[in-house]
Chain A
Amino acid sequence: MFEKIITIFSTWAIPLLLFFIPVLAISKKIKVYETFVDGAKEGFEVAVKIIPYLVAILVAIGMFRASGAMDIFIKLISPLTDLIGLPAEALPAALMRPLSGSGSLGIATELMVEHGPDSFIGRLVSTFFGSTETTFYVIAVYFGAVGVKKTRHAIPGGLVGDLAGLLAALFICKLVFG
């Protein structure tokens, strides 16, 4: 039921916005076409502005992934994750999540192929994947678009969220599926 309602919302949200915003605007005597073009002009500029930031972040992350450094890192912190009952196999997916969306989806998919989507690990990585964003990508794109280079506390704040998401996913999966 819940899923149906949300799916209906998701299907209708954009068509309705694209319909009602211009209709409402034209009823207020706004020249919708000209206004649209005026706003859309900035699209190119914003997208191009992001490029240097995205190159910086994604290249560093790509190099890190290709080097195999992740495996070493996992060995280092696995005693800690054993302590809280996080399966060692799920750790790479968790660590990759804030760095790379496609990377962590790849790892999550591999894990589900290996253990099955209905295994505890399969459910855990599914939950974890959906519960947080690719923090570094969001930071590169969002701050890049406005030319902010000094990100202050944004990264530590985002990483606290990622960690909380991981622990919450582990907790709720143990409770519901464990």
Chain B
Amino acid sequence: MLNYIWLGLMAIAIIVGALNGRLPEVTNAAFEYAEISVNIAIGLIGIMALWLGIMKIAEEAGLVRLLARAIRPISKRLFPEIPSEHPAIGAMVLNIAANWLGLSNAATPLGLKAMEELQKLNPTRDTATNAMATFLALNTGSITLIPATIIGVRVSLGSSNPTEIIGTTIFASACATVFAVSATKLLQRLPAFKIKEEDLKKASENDQSKTEEAD
């Protein structure tokens, strides 16, 4: 899927750019975005370290497990394949809570921590699990109780009621989340999206050859 989308975006860009006489802009954009990508990643290092440190403390103190236990009635439906007190659940709950409160500086590191925990349960290593896709779906809906960025823009443009979009935004993002999760749950059963037998086999062979260096 990503193979076709990725190639498609670039191929269309080059063809249309050539027809529009915008090839120099397309080239510049390629270099510019390569640099932006690195800046984004570098910018993450500090907050990533902060939250991973705090999460480690919370984990050792048993707080993450406590959180996971509290959310069990919901989590066992959304993520039936994850043991109910696994740290992945705690990290996912914190990520979603941070999203709700619009704390994006905390949400991304916590989300990545959750992915790391989910990866520990992944038998295939380079292929997404059902739990990962469901977690991503929960994230793309991104319910935010106060959409601060867009409210800021509305304030600066002199809106007479900048926050009037809060209610409509919560409704729309709730719909987006429900549909994304349902679609993900349905799609995971399609043959086209099944984990390939050969990937599973390859994964188990790899595991046997390097059981020593498991983390």
Q: A40-B52, A66-B25, A148-B119 are in contact. Are A133 and B142 (CB under 8 A)?
A: yes
CA distance A125 to B143 in the complex (A): 16
Is A176 within 8 A of B167, CB to CB?
A: yes
Question: From DSSP, what is the main secondary structure of chain B's interface residues?
Answer: helix
Chain B residues within 8 Å of A157, by CB: 133, 136-137, 140, 180-181, 183-184, 187
- Residue total for B at the interface (Cβ-Cβ under 8 A): 114
Among the stretches B2-10, B68-76, B78-86, B206-214, the one at the interface with A is B2-10
Is B187 within 8 A of A153, CB to CB?
A: yes
B197 at the interface (CB under 8 A from A): no
B101 CB to closest chain A CB (Å) equals: 5
Residue of A nearest to B98 (CB): A13
Is A109 within 8 A of B153, CB to CB?
A: yes
Chain A contact residues (Cβ within 8 angstroms of B): what range? 35 or more
Q: A10-B146, A155-B1, A161-B183 are in contact. Are A21 and B22 (CB under 8 A)?
A: no
Chain A residues within 8 Å of B9, by CB: 60-61, 63-64
Contacting residues of chain B (24-49) with chain A, CB-CB under 8 angstroms: 25-26, 28-30, 32-34, 36-38, 40-42, 44-49
Cross-interface CB contact of A152 among B101, B133, B160, B174, cutoff 8 Å: B133
A103 CB to closest chain B CB (Å) equals: 11
Interface centre among A18, A117, A176 (most CB of B within 10 A): A117
CA distance A63 to B31 in the complex (A): 9
Is B128 within 8 A of A128, CB to CB?
A: no
**Chain A 45-87 interface mask (CB, 8 Å, partner B; 1/0):** 0111011001111111111111111001000000000000000
Chain A residues within 8 Å of B2, by CB: 139, 149, 151, 155
CA distance A36 to B127 in the complex (A): 31
Is B140 within 8 A of A135, CB to CB?
A: yes
A92 at the interface (CB under 8 A from B): no
B18 CB to closest chain A CB (Å) equals: 9
Is A130 within 8 A of B150, CB to CB?
A: yes
Is A129 within 8 A of B150, CB to CB?
A: yes
Question: From DSSP, what is the main secondary structure of chain A's interface residues?
Answer: helix
Chain B residues within 8 Å of A3, by CB: 146, 163, 166
B123 at the interface (CB under 8 A from A): no
CA distance A138 to B56 in the complex (A): 23
Q: A21-B57, A64-B10, A130-B173 are in contact. Are A47 and B45 (CB under 8 A)?
A: yes
Residue of B nearest to A99 (CB): B9
Is A54 within 8 A of B37, CB to CB?
A: yes
Is A51 within 8 A of B37, CB to CB?
A: yes
Q: A3-B166, A64-B10, A152-B193 are in contact. Are A46 and B57 (CB under 8 A)?
A: no
Is A126 within 8 A of B33, CB to CB?
A: no
CA distance A108 to B154 in the complex (A): 10
CA distance A48 to B10 in the complex (A): 24
B93 at the interface (CB under 8 A from A): no
**Chain B 132-145 interface mask (CB, 8 Å, partner A; 1/0):** 11011101111011
A–B Cβ pairs within 8 angstroms, 22 of them: A10-B103, A13-B98, A13-B101, A39-B57, A41-B49, A47-B41, A50-B44, A63-B17, A66-B25, A112-B157, A117-B153, A117-B162, A132-B141, A133-B142, A145-B112, A153-B133, A154-B184, A157-B140, A157-B180, A157-B183, A158-B137, A168-B176
A-contacting residues of B (Cβ < 8 Å)? 1-2, 5-6, 9-10, 12-14, 16-17, 20, 22, 25-26, 28-30, 32-34, 36-38, 40-42, 44-50, 52-63, 97-98, 101-103, 106, 108-109, 111-112, 115-116, 118-119, 122, 125-128, 132-133, 135-137, 139-142, 144-147, 149-150, 153-154, 157-169, 171-181, 183-184, 187-188, 190, 193, 195, 199
